Amino acid sequence: MGKKRIIAKSGEELLKDREKIDAAVRKEVKIGASGKINEGRVYINASYNNTIITLTDLKGNVLVWTSAGSLGFKGAKKSTPFAASKVAERLAQTAKKSGVEKVAVLVNGVGSGRESAVRSLASRGLDIISIKDITPIPHNGCRPRKVRRV
């Protein structure tokens, strides 16, 4: 197996991460007299394999998105609650920089990162207006197979 090494990030790597966050913040969209967008929607897509979180304005235009895979998690670690909370923290940072303070959260999927992502968004200082589950639920399912005749 070998020795396990702990990778410590240097100052340059931390600056590169900060530059990535700054680059992710889109240009400011002017709205009315306020000058910035201060409300938005956060879509959390928690599948069995990954957690993807998207920040949009009220019209649905995507401002920022991030996922566990884009943060460097690989394989089975992408679908963990820890990865989902890290994704939500990154999105909350970029949301604060772009001026978004109030969000409506829409959760989709059955993955394990649903709850931890919402909690992480709340703990990072975003004002959560509402939480809605938009996971599609089949009412009657698909048509069953025909009866086997022997």
d(CA 133, CA 6): 38
pLDDT digits (tens, 9 = 90+) for 63-116: 999 999 999 999 999 999 999 999 999 999 999 998 999 999 999 999 999 999
**pTM given for the model:** 0.75
Residues 6+ apart with CB under 8 A from 60: 41
For residue 29, pLDDT beyond 50: no
Average pLDDT, the chain: 88
114-123 vs 81-98: helix axis angle to the nearest 10? 40
Q: Which CATH architecture has domain 38-133?
A: 2-Layer Sandwich (3.30)
| pLDDT top residue among 120 and 6 | 120
pLDDT digits (tens, 9 = 90+) for 106-122: 999 999 999 999 999 99
To which residue do tokens 């019209």 refer? Answer: 59
Q: Which of 32-46, 66-80, 105-119, 130-144 has the lowest mean pLDDT?
A: 32-46
Mean pLDDT of 43-70: 95
d(CA 133, CA 127): 18
Closest CA to 101 of 36, 32, 45, 53: 36
